[in-house]
Structure 1
Amino acid sequence: MFDFGIGYTELVVIALVAVIVIGPKDLPKVLRAFGRTMQKVRGMAREFQGHLDQAMREAGVDDIKKEINNLKTMNPVEDVKNEINSISAANPIATVAKDLTADLKKQDDDFKKYFGESAESASPAGEPGKTEPAALPKPEAPPVVH
């Protein structure tokens, strides 16, 4: 109920002291005056808060707050990961390699068309670029020692 950090027992003690000090006859007048004073204090606080809010809006503090909140939620590690992934997806080296492979295949097909079957018989067996290792000489039998 009360947001003053005062419990009900402390409030009862304050009320008893007020009744004893002020007296029951003048207590309603004092409480009304206290209520009016509190109402004026709240109005001044509201007005002061309004002026502060207006001054902050004029100074652009809201924009600065938004920027700070954006910076708080920004994740530079994730941004770098996304950038790397986008670069990997549009990898210029892979694109160039695919283009070169397609060009080489086209040139190979043109070569085969021009020279016919003799070009295929001239090419080494197996996949291009792969060669079979040369046969190693067989080792001699080890000498027999008695």
Structure 2
Amino acid sequence: MIPEIGAMEIFIVGVLALIVVGPKELPKLLRAVGGIVRKGRELTAEFRDGIETLAAEAEREADPFNDLRKEEGLRPGMSPEEITEHIMANREHEAQGLADATEEADKKPVDKGDKA
């Protein structure tokens, strides 16, 4: 666990830096420390993204049909026949939705322009 740094600790470090480095060089030191901290955060974010990508790839490799199960709404323990029936019902529902949309489009009046 990372220990928290309070206001008193920051104040002490600031006074020590002012004494050791001096007031003229302190802004340069603070910019350098800020750059190092920023670079550290970028590296940490990049590392985290890489780990998450690897974990997602490992999950896909371990269960290549996971995306299909989520997309189709399949439940664990379904028999092959139940899976087939479920997927076919989804396709019929999608086809019906497309047919309904086509019928609605056909019912709308077509504007044939101005007739003078």
**Aligning the two structures, in what range does the TM-score lie when normalised by the shorter sequence?**
0.3 to 0.5
State the TM-score, normalized to the length of structure 2: 0.48
Give 1 or 2 for the bigger CA radius of gyration. 1
State the TM-score, normalized to the length of structure 1: 0.38
